[in-house]
Structure 1
Amino acid sequence: MTSSQPLDWRWENAVAGSVAGLATVTFSHPLDVVRTRFQVYDGRNPNLPCYRNTPHALFTIGRSEGLRGLYAGFNPAVLGSTLSWGLYFYFYNNAKQRYMGNQDKTSARIHLASAAEAGGLVCLSTNPVWVVKTRLQLQTPHHQGRPYSGFTDAFKTILRDEGWRALYKGLLPGLFLVTHGAIQFTVYEELRKIIIEFKHKENSSTGKTSDLLTTIDYATLGASSKLVAILATYPFQVIRSRLQQRPNTYGVLRYADSGHALEKTARLEGFKGFYGGFTANLLKTLPAASITFIAYENVLNLLKKIKMKD
């Protein structure tokens, strides 16, 4: 994520992002299942059991559904995350190079615009995968009607029974969630510059020659930037998950559109309804963000060293 990168390094960004996304999903998926179920639970859905808190949800799912329940929707999650991170880092660095032009330094404006553009393109590319993932995660032993047998079956069934539009349920709040990535990357880049400048000054005064960031620095930067983004955008995640639910056995949707989901959630559940699953989300995303950026930066540095040797 350096301020100036040769254009032919963009594929390394995509590879590093994909590896980072895969590591993140494998580590955190059970918490993602819990988060999704809390996000859509409104006390009125007979398909979903009531959980007291995150530990109770993990224990209950593990006891009643086993490892398969804790990793429900894992395949689309891996596919979606790998695609999302790979495409995101590729689009982000591509946009940053374009916005920089002949400039030597980046700015907060360039980081923000690059992250927003990348997020929008990724959202349009991967929304169908997230719809399938959400529905598989919400599929419990109490589910009414024929359950999906897996990713392929879910995808085909949605297309057959609901049409291609159903694969883009939650797209609008998903596009609003572009601000999440924009906020996260802007905060990450700005904090990164501050730490590098601080280390450079400190090393100059002590006579040291290296001002490279460490794994701890990457972990701290990843978690800090993620926390800021979560606080600002979490309600959009809740609305998106609610829109992506499967219709009931009569084909009736619980929420007609984003406006209906927003109004119904506010009226029946209040402010608290927009932060369902927030604890599970923090437990999932803060360590995951650290792992993602540790993996990304280290894989990227490794690929650069290999390329320089060639």
Structure 2
Amino acid sequence: MSLSQWQWETATAGAVAGFATVAAMYPLDIVRTRFQVNDGRVTNFPAYKNTAHAIFTITRLEGLKGLYAGFLPAVLGSTVSWGLYFFFYGRAKQRYSKNREEKLSSGHHLASAAEAGALVSLCTNPIWLIKTRLQLQNPLHQSRRYSGIYDALRTILREEGWTALYKGLGPGLLMQVSHGAIQFTAYEELRRIMVDYKEKKQKSEGASNLLNSFDYALLGGSSKIAAILITYPFQVIRTRAQQRPSKEGIPRYMNSWHVVKETARFEGIRGFYKGITPNLLKNVPASSITFIVYENVLKLLRPKRRND
């Protein structure tokens, strides 16, 4: 099998996994985003007591469609992000391994994940900014609402310029690089430990046949928890920096550093973890779904390979 074919198989598996993840867990993403921007001062949103209350309130005031605001750019962004991430990650691992038989060290997995995260963040920041803007629209919003992705893009370019599409890039880049590096390094190391353990019991089977969907779910969820707890503040900073300016054109925060200073000043460390509960509820099982789909799609695309 050629290197190019293997890379595109990896990208396809990642893209399918990303779509499945978003479709299954999206309402919790809306709740997380709205919690993240609620700094306890002037806000366009009702006061949500908890995740369940937020879902109920959004449904009551905005209908079921309120729970799926920004769904299209979310699907697009997640599918493109995961596809590109696994593609860049797989290509980096191939480059570091020199050949298919050589095992990579933890440092190589870390470098591969960081490299992939940086490239994906640069490519997809405009998509995530539009998704965030659409998620934050509600009946109390005073500015003219975006009617969709194209209208949002056109309005942002007209009112704020193309540089606005890269608001939150700094924390987004730090989050993507560190989050992916932590998650994938943990996943690869836990996967290796699990394969080695099972291999001792089933020496006659190839390593790729030892793990099942439950194992992939456990590995994906465990690695995701570690990554979320460490990198979550970057996500809050990015979301707050990406908010739409007021109808007078005045941004709530001037830049990402302004977000950090204001959040620390008025809310303390807790402010950097606003919305972490729905985030965990969304992303831990979502990560499990992602890796189940990813690993099984790879098996379908290359059924004759026995070892990863």
**Range class of TM-score, shorter chain:** over 0.9
- The equivalent residue for 2:32 is 35
Aligned mates of 2:2, 2:195 — CA distance in 1: 17
Equivalent residues in 2 for 1:286-297 (5 A)? 286-297=284-295
> Given that residues 131 and 169 in structure 1 are in contact (C-alpha distance below 8 angstroms), is that contact kept between their aligned partners in structure 2?
yes
Aligned mates of 2:144, 2:67 — CA distance in 1: 20
- The equivalent residue for 1:303 is 301
Name the count of aligned residue pairs. Answer: 302
**2:20 aligned with 1:23:** yes
Question: CA 1:17 to 1:42, structure 2 compared with 1: closer, same or farther past 3 Å?
Answer: same
- The equivalent residue for 1:90 is 87
Secondary structure at the aligned position of 1:247 is classed as: coil
Counterpart of 2:134 (choices 136, 141, 145) is 136
> Given that residues 10 and 94 in structure 1 are in contact (C-alpha distance below 8 angstroms), is that contact kept between their aligned partners in structure 2?
yes
Q: Supply the RMSD in Å over aligned alpha carbons.
A: 1.6
Deviations 1:120-177 (A, max 9, x none): 0000000000000000000011000211111111111001100011000000001111
Q: Which amino acid aligns with 2:68?
A: Y
TM-score (norm: length of structure 1):
0.94
- The equivalent residue for 1:181 is 180
**2:138 aligned with 1:148:** no
Aligned mates of 1:296, 1:45 — CA distance in 2: 42
The Cα of 1:83 is off from its aligned counterpart by: 0.2
Deviations 1:187-220 (A, max 9, x none): 000000000000011224xxx6465201000000
Aligned mates of 2:301, 2:201 — CA distance in 1: 28
- The equivalent residue for 1:248 is 246
- The worse-fitting range, judged by mean Cα deviation, of 43-52 and 59-68 is 43-52
Aligned mates of 1:146, 1:25 — CA distance in 2: 27
Counterpart of 1:123 (choices 109, 121, 124) is 121
- Name structure 2 gaps, 5 residues minimum: none
Aligned mates of 2:8, 2:33 — CA distance in 1: 32
Aligned mates of 2:2, 2:89 — CA distance in 1: 12
Aligned mates of 2:2, 2:299 — CA distance in 1: 12
The structure 1 segments of at least 4 consecutive aligned residues displaced by more than 4 Å after TM superposition are: 4-7
Q: Which amino acid aligns with 2:278?
A: A
Q: Which amino acid aligns with 1:163?
A: G
Q: Which amino acid aligns with 2:223?
A: S
> Given that residues 36 and 134 in structure 1 are in contact (C-alpha distance below 8 angstroms), is that contact kept between their aligned partners in structure 2?
yes
- The equivalent residue for 1:258 is 256
Q: Which amino acid aligns with 1:57?
A: A
Equivalent residues in 2 for 1:52-63 (5 A)? 52-63=49-60
- Name structure 1 gaps, 5 residues minimum: none
**2:45 aligned with 1:10:** no
Question: CA 1:46 to 1:152, structure 2 compared with 1: closer, same or farther past 3 Å?
Answer: same
> Given that residues 36 and 137 in structure 1 are in contact (C-alpha distance below 8 angstroms), is that contact kept between their aligned partners in structure 2?
yes
Deviations 1:88-119 (A, max 9, x none): 00000001111222471111011000000100
> Given that residues 16 and 86 in structure 1 are in contact (C-alpha distance below 8 angstroms), is that contact kept between their aligned partners in structure 2?
yes
Aligned mates of 1:6, 1:219 — CA distance in 2: 27
The Cα of 1:67 is off from its aligned counterpart by: 1.4
- The worse-fitting range, judged by mean Cα deviation, of 247-256 and 281-290 is 247-256
